[in-house]
Amino acid sequence: MEFPFDINTLFSERVSILDQTLVAGRKSAGRPDLQAHIATVIDELGRASAKAQQLTAPITSASKLQSQRHQLYLLKDAESNGGRGVVVGFLKVGYKKLFLLDLQGVHIETEPLCVLDFYIAENLQRHGYGQELFDFMLQHKNLEPVLMAYDRPSPKFLSFLAKHYCLTRSVPQVNNFVVFEGFFLNRSAAQLRKVPLKKLDGEIKPYSLMEREVVRQEQRVLPWPFAPPHSPQRLVSSQYSHSLSVGSSPSRAPPRVAPVSAPGGNRDQSPQSPLIDRCRARRTSSLNRSQLGFD
């Protein structure tokens, strides 16, 4: 891919590594004019890659690279274009937190290095440039390709991985990433963490929405013996406490206590929960002690 400016001035190495700073070597450091050219190169490569993959929008651009912790490996041919150099292609990688399914279908949480975008100019493909660029990245990261994840690889990229790195047996995933069988076999327990299943809350009665609201109201107010007479919480508690109270069931009767009539209401209108009975018992005990002169 040719540009109207000198590529060799921008990129001194055959493979340049770019990050958030958009600096490629000492020449471009502190040079806004050169960094603007570098941004132009990245944007053009991103658009070309998106077109080749039939994507609706580029997934690589200078602005995205500046805002993300990714690295872009750019390969050039210094001799072409009359010695001004051409850009051959690029490879973008970055770490992503993923939830993957292992060989047994168990969800695993991991954060591998991912190939996020990979492009070689169409007129320069099948010349070994792709493998040269990919091998450079693997050597720089000291990593095997089977330990990486691949974001939406095209059929052409999958064929590339199968041909050069014998990656053929992938593990089906529910997201857009592709991993291969060795990804799970060659990783330590520290790198892979099983996602715990959500714990069930025990046997929960399938309350209706209205009943759930009643429970929430009961939890926010005092038990009915201490509520003002004819208050809404007292009426709600009297109406629903038997069916919704903690520990109540048709087969287990609440513990018996001395009958004490609450002011302003008839306690025999409906059965009460053990929690309310215990509150009533404590209040009765307190009243008796007071009457006997113990307090």
For the chain, give the number of residues: 295
Answer whether 273's CB lies under 8 Å from 257's CB: no
Q: Is position 160 annotated in a ligand binding site? A: yes
> Is 36 labelled a binding residue?
no
Asked whether residue 216 is marked as a ligand-binding residue, the answer is no
163 annotated as a binding-site residue:
yes
Show the tokens assigned to 24. Answer: 């490629």
124 annotated ligand-binding residue: yes
Quote the tokens at residue 11: 């990129």
Give the list of residues 6+ apart from residue 72 with CB closer than 8 angstroms, or none: 17, 18, 19, 42, 60, 65, 90, 91, 92
131 known ligand binder: yes
Tokens matching residue 272: 């009460």
Measured distance CA(244)–CA(264) in Å, rounded: 23
- In the chain, the amino acid numbered 192 is L
Instruction: Say what angle helices 129-141 and 155-165 make with each other, to 10 degrees.
Output: 70
Angle at 15 between CA 142 and CA 23, to 5 degrees: 100
Asked whether residue 243 is marked as a ligand-binding residue, the answer is no
Q: Amino acid identity of 36?
A: A
Which residues are CB-contacts of 26 (< 8 A; sequence separation ≥ 6)?
A: 12
Q: Does 256 carry a binding-site annotation? A: no
Position 280: which residue type? Answer: R
Flag whether 103 is marked binding: no
Q: Name 289's Cβ contacts closer than 8 Å, sequence gap at least 6.
A: 295
> Using only C-alpha atoms, what is the Rg of the chain?
35
Tell me whether residue 161 is annotated as binding: yes
Q: For residue 210, what is the DSSP state?
A: H
128 labelled ligand-binding? yes
The reply to whether 130 sits in an annotated binding site is: yes
Residue 150 labelled as part of a binding site: no
Q: Is 85 labelled as part of a ligand binding site?
A: no
Is 140 labeled as ligand-binding?
Answer: no
Is 251 labelled as part of a ligand binding site?
no
Q: Which residues are annotated as a binding site?
A: 118-131, 154-163
Q: Which residues are annotated as a binding site for acetyl-CoA?
A: 118-131, 154-163
